[in-house]
Amino acid sequence: MRAHWMTSATRKAAAVAAGLASALVFASAASSETTHIYPVSLTIAVDRAAGKISGTIVTDAPSEFCDSSMVRVRIAMPGNDTIAARIFPHDAEWQMKSGPYLSGKRVYAEVLAYHLPARPVECLGARSRAVTAP
């Protein structure tokens, strides 16, 4: 009986509380989606005649989810490895010119793990073997 005498501010507060409760239920249902985790591997090759380093990103993830992630080419050295280049692949393939700053140094490629915010997809990080730059 007391609800009949509720003020409009009280009714609005009750409506807002009901809306928030339904939003929380929806958010918890959306977050309960299964996250698909895809492993990634990298290849690396040296073309000494052309002075290039190239490679591919290999994954089973659909629709270019994981094979379009940025590749970092790093110089292997004691302590922290230096980033020599950041490359965005085209159709899961990447390449770069090897300059004098890389000549004769051991380099490898890596991609970092990341989660796609709009989809329940997570791509694992990977590292290639080390090669000697031309």
What was the pLDDT predicted at 68? Answer: 83
H or E stretch covering 61? none
What average pLDDT score do residues 16-27 get? 48
Whether residue 116 is predicted with pLDDT greater than 60 in this model: the reply is yes
Beta-bridged to residue 82, according to DSSP, are 75
* pTM of this structure: 0.72
More confident residue, 17 or 23: 17
